[in-house]
A = this chain, B = another copy of it.
Amino acid sequence: MTEHQRQVISSALEGRAANGKMQRLLDALPDDLQGEMLGIWERATVPAGHILIEENTEAENIGFVLDGLLAMIKDLPDGRRHIIGLLTPADLFGRAFNGKSGYRIEALTETEVLTCPREPFEALLVRSPEAERLFLLNVLDELDAAREWVMVLGSGKVVQRVASLLLILCRHKVQGAIAPRAPINLNIKLKRVDIAHLLGTSPESLSRSFKQLERDGIIAINTPYDMDVLDLGELTEAAGNALLIEDFDL
């Protein structure tokens, strides 16, 4: 690894949420591959609304989110759109080994990403079982996340889905920290419309659900993008499913 490469990466990671994970990923690689891995990545800043991977194309790039928020989006023939999942810092996206994508990747906010061409990335995975193992674990996590969404969307009522979303955000926020008794402050970076598309509902219904949770004393809404979860237990209750409880040591 050249000094130049080290600098590119360390400056890219500077102060980013994705820093820790990226470091762990790199450390798990054999020394000689670390340099190779670093050498193929390039940093980019994309504005909100930018499309990183088009639907139904063989994606030629693999990406790694440093900062910001991306979404996997599917447009329906009737003009509606559906958000299949979110990509947050430290998430990988792109379709290594996996053909064309059935949805597109779009930036919901201005986003910092590392990208690299698919070919050398795949080649590196093929050559390095360690790298492939890391990638496999990453895919397994994505699979869990996707199944979790299946559960959330299967739950009938909208309030339950909203509660579930908030729970997931909470979990993401506290990230293994010990039992959070105090209110958890959430900084939502999604517009109401986007949340609606994510939960398969309308902005109007969302608004009502949020209000209901607030009336029930479960959350406090400061601005549409800033709210506090007052009672995690009640929130879990409101979600109606037994998701994620074990992730907080209540």
Residue positions of A touching B, CB distance < 8 A? 56, 72, 74-78, 82, 84-85, 97-98, 102-103, 126, 129, 132-133, 135-137, 139-140, 142-144, 146-151, 153-156, 197, 199-200, 240-243, 246
Contact = CB atoms under 8 A, between A and B. Distances in A.
B76 A140 contact: no
Contacts of A97: 136-137, 140
A129 B75 CA distance: 37
A103 B241 CA distance: 12
Contact of A243 (B102, B137, B147, B197): B102
Instruction: Name, among A126, A153, A240, the residue most crowded by chain B CB atoms within 10 Å (CB to CB).
Output: A153
Contacts of A143: 139, 142-143, 146
A147 B242 contact: no
Given A82-B155, A140-B98, A155-B82, A76 B242 contact: yes
Closest 8 CB pairs of A and B: A146-B146, A154-B200, A153-B153, A129-B129, A82-B154, A98-B140, A143-B143, A136-B136
Given A77-B240, A240-B78, A102 B148 contact: yes
A135 B97 CA distance: 12
Contacts of A243: 102
Contact of A151 (B84, B133, B241, B242): B84
Contacts of A129: 126, 129, 132
18 contacts: A74-B151, A74-B241, A76-B155, A78-B240, A82-B151, A85-B150, A98-B137, A102-B147, A103-B151, A126-B129, A129-B129, A129-B132, A132-B132, A136-B139, A146-B146, A146-B147, A150-B150, A155-B200
Most B Cβ at <10 Å: residue of A102, A143, A154: A154
A133 B129 CA distance: 9
Contact of A135 (B136, B241, B242): B136
Contacts of A72: 147
Contacts of A75: 242
A102 B171 CA distance: 16
